[in-house]
Amino acid sequence: MTGLEAARARDAADPLRHYRDRFFLPLGTIYLDGNSLGVLPRATVERQRKVVAEEWGSELIRSWNSRGWIDAPARVGAKIARLIGAKPHEVIVADSVSVNLFKLIVAATALSPNRPQILSEGGNFHTDLHIASGAAELAGKRLDVVERAAVRDAISGETNLLLLTHVHFKAGYRFGIKEVTARAKAAGAVTLWDLSHSAGAVPLHLNRDGAELAVGCGYKYLNGGPGAPAFLYVAEHLQERLIPPLRGWMGHAAPFDFTDDYVPALGIARFLVGTPPILSLSALESGVESFDGVDMEALWAKSVQLFDLFAALAAERCPELECISPAEPEQRGSHISFRHPHAFEICQALIDAGVIGDFRAPDVIRFGLTPLYLGFEDIWQAAERMADILDSGRWREPRFAVRGKVT
Ligand SMILES: *Cc1c(COP(=O)(O)O)cnc(C)c1O
């Protein structure tokens, strides 16, 4: 099952194989980093040309109405909603994940003024904790950060907001949204999920699982392009109860009345702040449309198979790498991570050999498994090159120890 011929046979039989044609995949490169920056969908190139040359270039300001620019945040949000199990009007595209976290944390904590605690996990993605610390200070709350295993028991009558990342960016551990949200809810707390490492890869059923608030990333699995805007989700029943702390005109009930008084827009549109970035939004729209027709459960089933193949090959060929991602599919996301004291150098040597993964300090190599455009042979070839780098010790070449600004 771990041979090259078997991998090729699995690609030939893969019902999702044709989706690969929707993307540019640079020749000779095996791209295992779609969880950091998704690849370029072919449709994006023509779409960007049109938006720039025709809409901006010719139609100019009229495009806000005639080309639907003004509706883009809600329109793209509705397309993302299908991928995460939400209603179309429960998702909107705006700003970055960091800014959306800030808006939702401050707005949500105001729901229960007497509850002092924002609770999160130590080792959560750093921007989440940094934003939470600033938001807590402004909202007069206390940020408590506990280890993952202690999160459930730390939820108490003091907890105002539970802030968790669904799939951990490093090892890929996954929380159960349904179970954790229910537990917080039973204690009277609201839960805010960060879906940055799940949306577009891991099955999500926000409505079915009772999720109340969420944010997620546009440039990872959604293939929206570098720095693509992010999205936020607010369950229907909370939308009218949350008052955004960033009261921009785009979130006003009537932005073009130019009134002095602030009146929040009805529904989730109140979480818009300033003018939406149309070029980026249209790239994100093509990224999200690259999921058109894709069955998210089938996508996940393939992710599980890619992971299992990678794990088996690594165990067989690269025993010095310690796999730190959960073996149980229900407990993980769509990436696989390994620990090695020289993870940085190995990662650089791999990139040099055409296999792009990423290094996460201090000692983790992480590979994103994006079933929409990766095949089984890609995994086989990546493992082959990794084994070669380890066996030959090539990663020890001094050039692989040089660190850039972005790692
Ligand atoms: C990628 C990622 C982000 C990105 O935040 P931006 O503000 O959009 O740069 C935030 N949180 C998590 C968990 C992430 O993985």
CA 384 / ligand 1 centre spacing (Å): 31
pLDDT tens for residues 307-327?
Answer: 999 999 999 999 999 999 999
Ramachandran angles phi, psi of 229, nearest 5°:
-60, 160
Confidence check: pLDDT of 406 > 90: no
Kindly state if the Cβ of 124 falls inside 6 Å of ligand 1.
no
What residues does 401 pair with on adjacent strands?
A: none
The closest residue, in CA terms, to atom 14 on ligand 1 is 196
Residue 125: HSE in the Cβ half-sphere, 13 Å Cα cutoff: 24
8 A C-beta contact, residue 268 and residue 293: no
pLDDT > 90 in the chain, percent: 98
Kindly state if the Cβ of 196 falls inside 6 Å of ligand 1.
yes
Longest dimension (CA), the chain: 69
Angle between helices 126-139 and 97-109 in degrees, nearest 10: 30
Confidence check: pLDDT of 71 > 80: yes
pLDDT tens for residues 19-52?
Answer: 999 999 999 999 999 999 999 999 999 999 999 9
Active site residue 310: no
Distance of alpha carbon 383 from alpha carbon 348, whole angstroms: 15
8 A C-beta contact, residue 368 and residue 357: yes
pLDDT tens for residues 122-163?
Answer: 999 999 999 999 999 999 999 999 999 999 999 999 999 999
What single DSSP character describes residue 148? G
Kindly state if the Cβ of 242 falls inside 6 Å of ligand 1.
no
What residues does 380 pair with on adjacent strands?
A: none
Nearest residue to 338 via CA among 383, 370, 371 = 383
Instruction: Mention every residue, 6+ apart, whose C-beta is less than 8 A from residue 15.
Output: 298
The closest residue, in CA terms, to atom 2 on ligand 1 is 196
- pLDDT (mean) for 341-365: 96
Average pLDDT along the chain: 97
Residue with tokens 């989730």: 268
- pLDDT (mean) for 45-70: 98
- pLDDT (mean) for 173-177: 98
Confidence check: pLDDT of 68 > 80: yes
At 244, is the pLDDT very low, low, confident or very high (cuts 50, 70, 90)? very high
Kindly state if the Cβ of 36 falls inside 6 Å of ligand 1.
no
pLDDT tens for residues 201-229?
Answer: 999 999 999 999 999 999 999 999 999 99
DSSP output for 142-208: EEEEE-GGGHHHH--TTEEEEEEESB-TTT-BB--HHHHHHHHHHTT-EEEEE-TTTTTTS---TTT
Q: Where are the alpha helices (DSSP H) in 40-143?
A: 42-49, 63-66, 72-84, 97-109, 126-139
What single DSSP character describes residue 214? E
Kindly state if the Cβ of 125 falls inside 6 Å of ligand 1.
yes
Nearest residue to 97 via CA among 200, 9, 254, 219 = 219
Active site residue 173: no
- pLDDT (mean) for 372-386: 98
- pLDDT at site 313: 98
At 1, is the pLDDT very low, low, confident or very high (cuts 50, 70, 90)? confident
Structure tokens at 375: 């095949």
Residue 40: HSE in the Cβ half-sphere, 13 Å Cα cutoff: 10
CA 14 / ligand 1 centre spacing (Å): 31
> Looking at 125, 221, 271, 307, which residue is catalytic?
125
pLDDT tens for residues 74-102?
Answer: 999 999 999 999 999 999 999 999 999 99
pLDDT tens for residues 262-292?
Answer: 999 999 999 999 999 999 999 999 999 999 9
- pLDDT at site 407: 80
CA 101 / ligand 1 centre spacing (Å): 10
8 A C-beta contact, residue 330 and residue 301: no
CA 120 / ligand 1 centre spacing (Å): 15
Distance of alpha carbon 116 from alpha carbon 318, whole angstroms: 48
pLDDT tens for residues 130-140?
Answer: 999 999 999 99
- Residue 161, sorted as left (phi over 0), alpha (psi -120 to 50) or beta, turns out to be beta
- pLDDT at site 212: 98
8 A C-beta contact, residue 273 and residue 248: yes
- pLDDT at site 11: 98
Distance of alpha carbon 403 from alpha carbon 130, whole angstroms: 24
Q: Indicate the Cα dihedral angle 109, 110, 113, 119, nearest 10°.
A: 0
Kindly state if the Cβ of 198 falls inside 6 Å of ligand 1.
no
Active site residue 10: no
Residue with tokens 């940055």: 196
Position in ligand 1 atom list of the atom nearest CA 218: 8
At 2, is the pLDDT very low, low, confident or very high (cuts 50, 70, 90)? confident
Pairing of strands 91-94, 230-234: antiparallel
